[in-house]
């Protein structure tokens, strides 16, 4: 599939990775994805409370190779209750935020538990519902401190560096911020979730711009969860409550809107395997391919160095990958 | 503000909701009984449930893939809603027009049905029946997808007449067959399998080629009836009015015998049922009008029906959580609380049969009673809970320091609850055994809180606490 946006940009759908299951080469109710070294992808899964082993980080690559997983539900070291986001440090370490335990857990690239930090509170350096995270190029970690309605910057070791924002609707204020990302210039983009908008800040937290309002029209959002920026400055937003992804230029002007183009993944084909009942059931649905294409609660988005846009399709347990061709 | 007014308001809030704190009762009494009834009857005037926050924290539970999170989603809503009658009415309809996931095996579709019931909960019953007949969960549950032209399946047609509208004794076997013919071709569209990308929403489909368009005779009327014609006929029957009225009396006023006994057992209060049936017919099947008649009636306010219903397990769980103010905002563990209600005999979204749950005294057996008491005792004994702290602070503010005064204060603040004199004397003796109550020092204040929690636990074990 090729999407020709009104502004002349061209996007090609490339591949779908994933399938739905609690363990093994699969995802279940994924929350976030992060790009690691050597084109590795880390996907954080929440699943349900009873599915203890499903609270995990999956490690895979673009060749659809499943490289392993780590974590489970619980309060012990290396475990999660309400795991929210995953972020890969430039040195390869993997950081996971837990909005219930108010802590950041640190793992090696292969998933060995290395440490944790974080405590509940509202003072600078304390956390209340840590949500999205992203590493800056210098190795500092930005956290959308959800229920404190602010952004906080820490060293990778957990030392508080700086903070900005407060609860509200004004410029630089937040209402349950969720996803956070940085562009090539180091500017910070935040999915200001309950304000239905994206805000952009300079690296030191100065407000630069905002766009979006509540609704389901072009340029409007229903609880946007995440944001990413490509090398041209174009901005991709997972418009979670509207089951779509929207694209904006660097000024925040609407460019394009995607409702999904997924196809049956390799892992999915393996899951269906020789189960003829599943194949027959699929064949009985007249618009199966169209149904299968669509996003359902896309929740996280990242862009890699080759302008591949990876959309974590939250309630379909898969990643839809697009590439910007021009 | 008299204790009698408080008691009446508490009765209303137990039945039209899941109970209320003393502060809420006092506020509502000051506002007036009829004004409170109108507020309850018009839930859209209250703030909506913060569904987005529930979605954020209970990620994946809305239209869940599995049953427990889908059940937890509704329980969270019942605990934290500011529109209690909306949820109570939805629970009522779920208890009557029930569908069980054990057969449907598609939790999100059952949840969609619950949302449909909520949408219509205080609306027009004919419209509710119209959407229910098209509801994919119901179509699966009562086999209407297997109801074909020339090869009828009577399950939906029979239960529509027997359990959803008129009740046994008011129609014939031929009427069942003719109603079933009228609903041939009412099915759902094919849907994808669960794997590999989770479930998809189910959609109603009418297949004209599979519909028996022939002439039918139903309840003495002839015509080439389709399903909607059958609904038009049944909804206006006096038998339907009485049947729904008796269900409402049973759910909101006082326990009745189970539905199968109704043809042979007169209603506990036939005049009350007639009042409700008249309201149903005169209003054109408008449930808001019927409920207004119910809550403002003398038979509802009469003290003889206060605490005349055994609390359902959902009322025990939700009422207790609201009392102690736990889970007012989302937190982990809500799915497990659904299981607690299950231990007491009620798993929402999964009733035991199309008859729903056998309520009243049948909620109580040796196993369920201990589950009920333990559940409540564990929570009211937790003095860190905001609702328990409110009770402690209120007792302290009112200087309820003598043992009888302290016990009576606890009873007032969890109900008000009137218990037998023997039970009250035992509670007083328990307090006296612990020595004088005081709050002069930090240690005494801590002891006061602990003893309050203990008395609340003992109250939870009384017979009276099990009634609504």
pLDDT digits (tens, 9 = 90+) for B207-222: 999 999 999 999 999 9
What pLDDT score does A274 carry? 84
Question: Which token pair is B374?
Answer: 């333990």
CA distance B55 to chain A (A): 10
Q: How far is CA B311 from CA B244, B287, B386, in A?
A: 20, 23, 23
How far apart CA B253 and CA B131 sit, in angstroms, is: 27
Q: Give φ, ψ of A92 to 5 degrees.
A: 105, -15
Q: pLDDT tens-digit profile of B174-200?
A: 999 999 999 999 999 999 999 999 999
Q: pLDDT tens-digit profile of B338-348?
A: 999 999 999 99
pLDDT (average), residues B19-26:
94
Q: Which residue of A has its CA nearest to B197?
A: A316
A268 and B57: CB-CB below 8 Å? no
DSSP string, B265-317: S--TTHHHHHHHHHHHHHTTSBHHHHHHHHHTSHHHH-GGGTT-SBPPHHHHH
Helix (H, G, I), strand (E, B) or coil at A237: strand
Whether B302 has a pLDDT exceeding 80, the answer reads yes
Choose the mutation target among A32, A47, A48 for the interface with B, i.e. most B CBs under 10 Å.
A48
How far apart CA B132 and CA B186 sit, in angstroms, is: 11
- Give the confidence band of B418 by pLDDT, cuts at 50, 70, 90: confident
B60 and A48: CB-CB below 8 Å? yes
How far apart CA A26 and CA B196 sit, in angstroms, is: 9
CA distance A147 to chain B (A): 11
What pLDDT score does B13 carry? 97
Please count the other Cβ atoms lying within 10 Å of the Cβ belonging to residue A260.
Answer: 20
Q: Which residues contact B118 (CB under 8 A, 6 or more apart)?
A: B86, B87, B89, B90
Nearest one of B289, B247, B250, B246 to B271, comparing CA atoms: B246
Mean pLDDT of chain B: 96
A264 has a chain B CB within 8 A of its CB: yes
CA distance A145 to chain B (A): 14
- Give the confidence band of B415 by pLDDT, cuts at 50, 70, 90: confident
Question: Which token pair is B405?
Answer: 């005064």
A278 and B193: CB-CB below 8 Å? yes
Question: Which token pair is B184?
Answer: 């041939």
**A2-324 fold:** Neuraminidase (2.120.10)
Choose the mutation target among B111, B189, B195, B199 for the interface with A, i.e. most A CBs under 10 Å.
B195
What pLDDT score does B229 carry? 98
Domain definitions of chain A by residue range: 2-324
Q: Which helix (H) or strand (E) holds B75?
A: helix B67-80
What pLDDT score does A8 carry? 82
Strand partners, A247: A236, A256
First to last CA, chain B: 22
Of B53, B68, B197, nearest to A268 by CB-CB distance is: B197
Gyration radius of chain A's alpha carbons? 19
User: Mind listing the pLDDT tens digit of every residue in chain A (326 residues)?
Assistant: 666 666 789 999 999 999 999 999 999 999 999 999 999 999 999 999 999 999 999 999 999 999 999 999 999 999 999 999 999 999 999 999 999 999 999 999 999 999 999 999 999 999 999 999 999 999 999 999 999 999 999 999 999 999 999 999 999 999 999 999 999 999 999 999 999 999 999 999 999 999 999 999 999 999 999 999 999 999 999 999 999 999 999 999 999 999 999 999 999 999 999 899 999 999 999 999 999 999 999 999 999 999 999 999 999 999 999 999 87
What pLDDT score does A2 carry? 65
A89 has a chain B CB within 8 A of its CB: no
Predicted model pTM: 0.96
Q: How many CA atoms lie within 13 A of A141 on its CB side?
A: 32
A194 and B200: CB-CB below 8 Å? no
Pairing relationship of beta strands A72-73 and A79-80 according to DSSP bridges: parallel
| CB–CB contacts below 8 A, A to B | 97
B190 and A286: CB-CB below 8 Å? yes
Provide the phi-psi class of A118: left if phi over 0, else alpha when psi is between -120 and 50, else beta: left
């Amino acid at each position: 599939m090729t999407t020709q946006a009104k502004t002349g940009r061209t996007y090609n759908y490339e591949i779908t990775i994933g399938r739905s299951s609690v363990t093994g080469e699969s995802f279940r109710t994924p929350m976030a994805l992060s790009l690691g070294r050597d084109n590795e992808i880390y996907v954080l899964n929440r699943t349900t409370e009873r599915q203890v082993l499903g609270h995990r980080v999956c490690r895979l690559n673009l060749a659809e190779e499943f490289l392993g997983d780590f974590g489970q539900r619980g309060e012990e070291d290396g475990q999660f209750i309400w795991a929210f986001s995953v972020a890969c440090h430039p040195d390869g370490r993997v950081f996971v935020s837990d909005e219930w335990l108010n802590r950041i857990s640190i793992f090696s690239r292969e998933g060995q538990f290395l440490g944790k930090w974080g405590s509940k509170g509202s003072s600078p350096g304390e956390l209340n519902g840590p949500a999205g995270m992203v590493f800056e190029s210098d190795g500092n970690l930005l956290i959308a401190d959800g229920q404190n309605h602010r952004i906080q910057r820490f060293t990778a070791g957990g030392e508080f560096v700086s903070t900005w924002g407060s609860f509200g609707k004004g410029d630089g204020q937040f209402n349950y911020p969720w996803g956070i990302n940085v562009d090539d210039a180091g500017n910070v983009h935040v999915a200001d979730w309950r304000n239905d908008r994206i805000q952009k800040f300079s690296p030191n937290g100065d407000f630069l711009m905002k766009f979006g309002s509540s609704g389901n029209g072009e340029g409007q959002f229903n609880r946007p969860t995440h944001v990413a920026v490509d090398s041209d400055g174009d901005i991709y937003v997972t418009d979670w409550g509207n089951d779509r992804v929207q694209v904006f230029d660097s000024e925040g002007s609407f460019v394009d809107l995607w409702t999904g183009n997924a196809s049956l993944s390799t892992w999915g084909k393996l899951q269906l395997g020789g189960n003829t009942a599943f194949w027959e059931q699929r064949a009985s649905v007249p618009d199966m391919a169209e149904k299968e294409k669509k996003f359902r609660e896309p929740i996280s988005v990242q862009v890699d160095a080759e302008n591949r846009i990876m959309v974590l399709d939250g309630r379909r347990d898969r990643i839809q990958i697009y590439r910007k061709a021009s | 503000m008299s204790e009698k007014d408080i008691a009446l308001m508490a009765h209303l809030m137990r039945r039209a909701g899941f109970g209320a704190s003393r502060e809420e009762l006092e506020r509502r009494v000051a506002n007036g009984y009829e004004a409170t009834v109108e507020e309850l009857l018009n839930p859209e005037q209250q703030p909506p449930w913060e569904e987005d926050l529930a979605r954020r924290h209970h990620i994946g539970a809305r239209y869940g893939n599995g049953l427990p999170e889908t059940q937890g989603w509704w329980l969270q809503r019942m605990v934290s809603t500011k529109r209690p009658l909306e949820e109570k009415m939805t629970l009522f309809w779920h208890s009557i027009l029930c569908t069980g996931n054990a057969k449907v095996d598609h939790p999100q579709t059952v949840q969609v049905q619950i949302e449909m019931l909520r949408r219509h909960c205080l609306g027009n019953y004919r419209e509710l029946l119209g959407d229910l007949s098209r509801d994919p969960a119901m179509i699966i549950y009562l086999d209407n997808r297997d109801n074909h032209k020339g090869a009828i399946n009577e399950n939906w047609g029979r239960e529509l007449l027997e359990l959803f509208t008129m009740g046994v004794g008011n129609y014939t076997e031929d009427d069942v067959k003719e109603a079933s013919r009228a609903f041939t071709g009412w099915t759902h569209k094919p849907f994808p399998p669960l794997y590999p990308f989770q479930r998809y929403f189910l959609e109603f489909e009418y297949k004209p080629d599979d519909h028996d368009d022939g002439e039918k005779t139903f309840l003495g009327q002839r015509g080439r009836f389709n399903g909607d014609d059958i609904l038009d006929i049944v909804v206006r029957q006096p038998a339907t009015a009485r049947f729904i009225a008796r269900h409402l009396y049973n759910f909101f006023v006082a326990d009745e015998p189970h539905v199968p006994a109704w043809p042979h057992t007169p209603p506990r209060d036939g005049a009350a049922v007639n009042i409700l049936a008249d309201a149903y017919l005169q209003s054109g099947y408008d449930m808001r009008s019927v409920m207004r008649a119910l809550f403002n009636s003398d038979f509802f306010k009469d003290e003889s029906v206060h605490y005349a219903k055994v609390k359902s397990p959902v009322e025990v769980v939700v009422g207790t959580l609201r009392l102690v103010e736990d889970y007012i905002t989302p937190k982990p563990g809500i799915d497990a609380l659904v299981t607690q209600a299950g231990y007491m005999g009620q798993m929402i979204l999964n009733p035991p049969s199309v008859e729903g749950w056998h309520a009243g005294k049948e909620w109580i057996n040796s196993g369920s009673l201990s589950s009920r008491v333990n559940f409540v005792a564990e929570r009211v004994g937790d003095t860190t809970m905001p609702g328990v702290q409110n009770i402690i602070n209120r007792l302290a503010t009112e200087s309820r320091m003598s043992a009888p005064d302290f016990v009576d204060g606890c009873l007032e603040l969890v109900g008000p609850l009137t218990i037998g004199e023997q039970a009250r004397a035992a509670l007083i003796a328990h307090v006296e055994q612990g020595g004088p109550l005081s709050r002069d020092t930090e240690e005494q204040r801590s002891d006061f809180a602990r003893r309050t929690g203990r008395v609340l636990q003992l109250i939870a074990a009384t017979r009276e606490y099990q009634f609504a």
